[in-house]
């Protein structure tokens, strides 16, 4: 049986950093499920095809497109992510990924509630909107993207509302999830805490 770790939370809370660190430490497979929506968005923008059709045919090689991190794709991905039929189609992809190898880590918005409700351990990573906006703003500055902190903060708040308000599969903290607030917690401490909790559950199962 595959040991499954679900990681949920809002944008720029630290899900990806924690997920990748856990995957490296435990030699588990890792999937940033946000890339699925970006891959669908990218192909839709390039081809004009129906995102639902694209989602049903998505493959892992589509996640290696070079433009998945650009802002146009990100904005289109946010729009596509609220379409129930797209989420349903990508649910199958994620469920199949979660059963690969000895361990799988998936991060997103609905992993512990919809995709992997029976995950061996669940995390909900959060941070204040101001802290998350500062992180995202710093990332954009490094990539020489012209914007302001106020714009980034408004985009963070808008995405939070979109994630919480969508009808199908909204972002909700799983009842049985460990909560890590990274507002004032260093990423090293957050990763180490997560590692300890995962190791404890693995030991209990063995």
Task: Let me know how many helices (H) and strands (E) the chain has, helices first.
Answer: 8, 5
Across residues 10-33, what is the average pLDDT?
A: 97
Task: Indicate if the pLDDT at residue 145 is higher than 90.
Answer: no
At 1 the pLDDT is 84
Report the chain's mean pLDDT, rounded to a whole number. Answer: 95
| Alpha carbon of residue 112 to chain centroid | 11
In a domain, 118, yes or no: yes
What Rg do the C-alpha atoms of the chain give, in angstroms?
17
Tens of pLDDT, residue by residue over 61-80, are 999 999 998 889 999 999 99
In a domain, 99, yes or no: yes
Separation between Cα atoms, residue 146 and residue 141, nearest integer Å: 7
Residue 169 sits in a domain whose CATH number is: 3.40.50.300
In a domain, 206, yes or no: no
At 123 the pLDDT is 99
Tokens of 115: 């995709």
140's CB contacts (< 8 A; 6+ apart) are 147, 152
In a domain, 79, yes or no: yes
Task: Indicate if the pLDDT at residue 42 is higher than 90.
Answer: yes
Q: What percent of the chain has pLDDT over 90?
A: 91
In a domain, 196, yes or no: no
At 171 the pLDDT is 96
Separation between Cα atoms, residue 171 and residue 160, nearest integer Å: 9
CA distance to 11, 44, 131, per residue, from 124 (Å): 12, 30, 16
Q: Which domain holds residue 57?
A: 3-191
Q: What percent of the chain has pLDDT over 70?
A: 100
CA distance to 9, 20, 121, 150, 174, per residue, from 179 (Å): 9, 18, 11, 27, 9
At 70 the pLDDT is 87
Confidence of residue 36 (pLDDT cuts 50, 70, 90): very high
- Max CA pair span of the chain: 51
Task: Indicate if the pLDDT at residue 144 is higher than 90.
Answer: no
In this structure, the number of other CB atoms found within 10 A of the CB of residue 126 comes to 19
At 183 the pLDDT is 97
In a domain, 76, yes or no: yes
In a domain, 60, yes or no: yes
Domain count, the chain: 1
Helix 71-80, helix 34-47: angle, nearest 10: 100
Write down the pTM of the prediction: 0.95
In a domain, 203, yes or no: no
At 181 the pLDDT is 97
Please name the helix (run of DSSP H) or strand (run of DSSP E) that holds residue 126, with its range, or none: strand 121-126
């Amino acid at each position: 049986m595959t040991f499954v770790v679900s990681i949920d939370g809002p944008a720029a809370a630290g899900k990806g950093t924690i997920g990748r660190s856990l995957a490296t430490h435990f030699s588990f497979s890792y999937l940033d499920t946000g890339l699925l929506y970006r891959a669908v968005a990218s192909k839709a923008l390039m081809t004009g095809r129906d995102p639902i059709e694209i989602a049903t045919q998505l493959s892992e090689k589509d996640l290696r497109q070079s433009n998945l991190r650009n802002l146009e794709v990100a904005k289109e991905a946010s729009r596509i992510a609220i379409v129930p039929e797209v989420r349903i189609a990508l649910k199958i992809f994620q469920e199949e990924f979660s059963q690969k190898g000895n361990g799988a880590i998936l991060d997103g918005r609905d992993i512990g509630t919809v995709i992997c409700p029976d995950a061996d351990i669940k995390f909900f990573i959060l941070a204040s909107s101001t802290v998350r906006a500062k992180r995202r703003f710093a990332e954009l500055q490094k990539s020489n993207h012209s914007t302001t902190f106020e714009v980034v903060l408004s985009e963070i708040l808008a995405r939070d509302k979109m994630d919480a308000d969508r009808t199908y599969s909204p972002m909700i903290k799983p009842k049985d999830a460990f909560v890590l607030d990274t507002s004032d917690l260093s990423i090293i401490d957050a990763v180490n805490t997560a590692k300890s909790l995962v190791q404890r559950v693995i030991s209990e199962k063995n």
